[in-house]
Structure 1
Amino acid sequence: MLTDYLPHYRIRLRTERLELRLPDLDDLVALADQAAGGVHGPDFMPFVVPWTDAEPVERGRATILWQLRAIASSTPENWAMPFVVVHDGQVIGMQEVTAREFKVTREATTGSWLGLPHHGQGFGTEMRAAVLALIFDGLGGDYALSASFDGNGPSAGVSRKLGYQADGIEHKTLGDVRRIDRRWRLDRAGWEAHRTHEVAVEGLDAAALAMLGLDAPPA
């Protein structure tokens, strides 16, 4: 079985409405379909790399290749878990968690997107809450990090709702335009104070933890 070789594929995050899991090939096709259908409006680019500025088939292809690269290049010291987000049996988007030297830093970074038909229904908050439970409860993390460009009100709103605090800015470029990327940081106390979703973390056994550079579950 795949999980004999990639045990982190056993990990499942379940909320009231959602399941998050690492994608199989069918999941990748469904995720590509969401990307091809669009993930944001035409007037604002929310990504540092403007991968959505392409024809539908190219967006879908880029999605599949990016997910495969993220999984294939992960190591215990520098890992990525690009979960697909499933609602009522349908893949609706993706929620990524990445970390470098997590065993030492105890911090991880999240990023996400949803297919356009699934915006405005609270899924963004719920899927971020799912991976925060993984970071803090499952892996014993101390901090979760995120970022959003100025003008990305929905992403910033999710961060504020879940207890993140502003953590400075960076300047990024899109073509010849300078943009402000606002960093967000959530510590354990802030997460505990803003928990609004029950999350079940499944499959996080010793073999899966080893894939993420950890020797044992948190105390």
Structure 2
Amino acid sequence: MSTKLRTLADYWPIFGLRLASPRLVLAPLQDADLPETLDLILAGIHDRASMPFAMPWTDVPPDELVAGALRHYWSTRASATPQRWTVPFLVRRQGVAVGLQDLSGTDFAVTRTVHTGSWLGRAHQGQGLGTEMRSAVVQFAFDHLKAERADSAAFSDNPTSLAVSRKLGYRADGTAVVQRRPGERAVEQRLTLDRASFVRPGWMVQVRGLPACQAFFGT
């Protein structure tokens, strides 16, 4: 008589969640995905001459970048609670990892607000994938988690991210002045989107595995 082996998703159900759009599959990042994720990061996320992100992707040696990324993803998982959670979704196209799409919430049961952040490997940029993966998690948040608001942010000199937000219906929600690199001043544009203003694509996100991990989101 055989006994079915349990998987990690049996104990940490968020690992069984899947979102699918026409070209992409989004799944919570697991340790088995980390080598591909690190390869994407090391291959480059943006031009070294610019710094469109708060994360210093190009300003530290590769070994420090790898160590910092691993600590970040492990600590994000370890610190997740129903009151404060982040899901880093690894995004794949035809089985190939192309980037990461974060979805996070704080006191979500009360605020009904999520925040998104993302990056794409340089080889996969300029193909509309950033818009598709953001649209997938926003649809998931509005239609399946019953969020009322989705927030995002981008530096004022990151036109690609800002263009994605415009396409999906976000409106400006103030700015903040921050230090991006040592001694460098940068303006962060905050953005917000409500359910009624969301510019929906001509497809619906497909969701699998949510009932088992509903408690993760504090709902």
- What is the TM-score of this pair, normalised by structure 1? 0.92
- Bigger CA drift: 174-183 or 122-131? 174-183
Q: 1:23: Cα distance to partner?
A: 1.9
Superposition map of 1:49-198 within 5 A: 49-174=55-180, 175-191=182-198, 193-198=199-204
2:69 maps to 1:41: no
SS state of the match for residue 166, structure 1?
strand
Give the letter for the 1:16 counterpart. Answer: P
SS state of the match for residue 83, structure 1?
strand
SS state of the match for residue 92, structure 1?
strand
SS state of the match for residue 189, structure 1?
helix
2:217 maps to 1:212: yes
Distance 2:63 2:139 in 1: 34
Give the letter for the 1:119 counterpart. Answer: Q
SS state of the match for residue 93, structure 1?
strand
Distance 2:56 2:31 in 1: 24
Q: 1:51: Cα distance to partner?
A: 4.1
Distance 2:177 2:203 in 1: 33
Deviation per residue, 1:129-185 (Å, 9 max, x gap): 111111101100000000000110000000000111111101111211221100010
SS state of the match for residue 30, structure 1?
helix
- What is the TM-score of this pair, normalised by structure 2? 0.92
Contact 1:80 1:96 in 2 (8 A): yes
> Runs (4+) of structure 1 moved beyond 6 Å?
none
Deviation per residue, 1:69-108 (Å, 9 max, x gap): 1111100000010110011111111000111000000001
Choose which of 4, 12, 20 in structure 1 pairs with 2:10: 4
Greater Cα radius of gyration, structure 1 or 2: 2
SS state of the match for residue 185, structure 1?
strand
How many aligned residue pairs are there?
212
Q: 1:14: Cα distance to partner?
A: 0.2
Distance 2:39 2:63 in 1: 9
Instruction: Say if 1:49 and 1:23 are closer, same or farther in 2 by CA, change over 3 A.
Output: closer
Give the letter for the 2:64 counterpart. Answer: E
Give the letter for the 2:210 counterpart. Answer: L
Distance 2:171 2:17 in 1: 28
Distance 1:108 1:71 in 2: 17
SS state of the match for residue 91, structure 1?
strand
Distance 1:64 1:92 in 2: 18
Percent identical among aligned pairs is 41
SS state of the match for residue 67, structure 2?
helix
Distance 2:56 2:43 in 1: 16
Give 5+ residue unaligned stretches, structure 1. 215-219
**Aligned-residue CA RMSD in angstroms?**
1.3
